[in-house]
Amino acid sequence: MENEAFARYVKDRYEGQMNYYKVANRANQKKYKRFQWILIVLSAITPVLAALDLNVEPGSRWEFLKYSVVVISAFVAILTTGLKTFQYQELWVTYRATYEQLKPEIHYYNFGVGPYGEEGINKESLFINRVETILDKEHQGWPPAKKLQEENKKGDYIDSPPNIESNSI
C-alpha cells in the first residue's frame, strides 16, 4: 500500500472516526445525565407537592398545587419514555467502548506491538483490517432504524462524520 494512501486513510477515516466517537459519546453522556438529573428532581418534588395538596382548600390561591402534581408527573413520564426511546446511556457506552478500542491501534502500529511486530506482516493492511473490524462490530450493533437512517444520509463517514449537537437535550 502506498504511504500516501495509508496516511490519507489514517487522517480521513481513522482520525475522523476517533473524533466522531469522542464527540458522540460525550454528547450522549451529557444528554443522559441531564435527563437523569431532571427526572431525579421532578420525582423528588412530586410527593412533596402531593402532600401539600392534601391541606389545600378548594378556591385558595394554593389550589395550583393540585395541577402541578399532574403536570410534573406527566413530565416524569415523558422524560422516562424519552430516555428509553433515544437510548442515550446505551449510545454513550457503546460509542465510548468503540473509541477506547480504536485509540491504541495507532500506537500498536507505530511501535510494532502485538501482531504488528510479526515478521513479514503488512502493517498498513493489518491496521486497516483491525480498524474496520472494530467499526463493523459497532455498526452491527445498531438497531435497524439507525442503520436505515445512516443509509439514507448523503455523506459518508470517510468524507465527513455526522455533526453531533452537544448542547441540546
The full DSSP string for 21-53 is: HHHHHHHHHHHHHHHHHHHHHHHHHHHHHHHHH
| Mean pLDDT for the stretch of residues 111-128 | 96
When pLDDT is cut at 50, 70 and 90, the band that residue 168 belongs to is: very low
Per-residue pLDDT for 161 more than 70? Answer: no
d(CA 93, CA 26): 10
Residue range 41-96, pLDDT digits in tens: 999 999 998 888 667 777 887 778 878 999 999 999 999 999 999 999 999 999 99
Q: Give tens-digit pLDDT for 4-25.
A: 999 999 999 999 999 999 999 9
Contact 3, 123 (CB under 8 A): no
Tell me the three cell numbers of residue 100. 477506547
Greater model confidence, 55 or 3: 3
Most confident segment among 87-91, 102-106, 157-161: 102-106
Distance (Å, whole) CA 108 – CA 116: 7
* pLDDT at residue 5, rounded to an integer: 96
Indicate if the pLDDT at residue 102 is higher than 60. yes
Instruction: Assess whether pLDDT exceeds 60 at residue 145.
Output: no
* 3-state class (DSSP) for residue 164: coil
Q: For residue 117, what is the DSSP state? A: G
